[in-house]
Amino acid sequence: MKRLWLLLLLCFSFGTCAAQIVINLKSDFVKQFQDSVTIDATFRVDVYSAVHPARQDGDIHVAGTAPEIGLLAVAEVMNAKTERNGAVKTLMGAKGSGTPVAITGAWRIWSEHGGQQEYQQGEDVPVATSSGEAHVFEIHPVSKVDGRDVSHTLEPIPGYTYKEAMDAFQLYERTKSQISEADGMVTISTEQAGYNYTQFVAKLLSEPFDMKGGKGVMASVLDESGDVLVTERRLVFVGGTPPEQILQGKHKGDAIEVVGIPRLNLKLVEWRLTHQDDPRCKHECLSWNIPYEMIVAAVTDENPRGLE
């Protein structure tokens, strides 16, 4: 807690962030996952939600943890009612069994459900009593459960109203943060920020490139009218999923309309730490707004028109 109070004092003293959530990650974890789309986790299932109706997002939320994560985590299967490999039944059956389930999917660190508290990676994780328990780590979306492929669930959610791109990206872009590193731990102090499942147009600024567990691409973010909201962000695509398969046929200059989920960009976290004395940072990059990227969870239009 001493670290938390010191960070809060710095934030309020210098006006760099209104810190509500403090996330302490192992430096080795940041390095390991900065260019990885996914994580393979041996997941302890503590509790799960009902399958949400489509109007609420269509997910099932499974709370627990894994040694590969070292934090309370929630794994989310998209479009859970359409899952056809018995994966959801497997997750439900593992509740409290003491037998972990192998889960693969996009790792996601974000402050949407963090509450006002501090998180320390590597500490013992008590058994969760609710799938809605405060957390900052997710496997979302899940692409494989117990060796069974559920990548077909990364599709548009019928009946769900996606977040508006303008509202969502304004929130992402203005979310404050403070980054530091000491004793083998990277600390990100930030604010609560929501807006899952945001629909936007991505104009590709690069050719797709390989990442561990999938693909990445640099893109500008546009609204449906073609107005640029964000000049450049990295988008990540889970390997073998419908969005990643569509991306493989795209090139620099192409546009696709997608549904995305924000997550911390660990590559930018690492860059800011290693370049904090660089003239480009002016000794301020550790207090720039939160470094984030977008997980592409679905493609809603492979060839959006009227953007010229």
Across the chain, mean pLDDT equals 92
Q: What pTM, to 2 d.p., does this model score?
A: 0.93
CA dihedral 207, 260, 53, 155 (to 10 degrees): -10
pLDDT at 260 over 50: yes
Domain definitions of the chain by residue range: 28-153, 165-179+191-301
Indicate the class that CATH gives domain 165-179+191-301: mainly beta
Average pLDDT, stretch 93-113? 94
pLDDT at 215 over 70: yes
Residue 99, C-beta contacts closer than 8 angstroms, at least 6 positions apart: none
What one-letter code names the amino acid at 246? I
pLDDT for 55? 84
pLDDT at 109 over 50: yes
pLDDT for 3? 52
pLDDT for 307? 67
Give the residue, 2 or 125, on which the prediction is more confident: 125
pLDDT at 6 over 70: no
pLDDT digits 0-9 by tens, 177-187: 999 999 999 99
28-153: in CATH 3.90.70:
no
Residue 33 contacts residue 70 (beta carbons within 8 Å): no
pLDDT for 282? 77
Determine how β-strand 209-211 pairs with β-strand 214-222: antiparallel
Average pLDDT, stretch 290-296? 98
Q: Do domains 28-153 and 165-179+191-301 have the same CATH topology?
A: yes
pLDDT digits 0-9 by tens, 34-90: 999 999 999 999 999 999 988 888 899 999 999 999 999 999 999 999 998 899 999
pLDDT digits 0-9 by tens, 142-156: 999 999 999 999 999
Work out the pLDDT band at 298, boundaries 50, 70, 90: very high
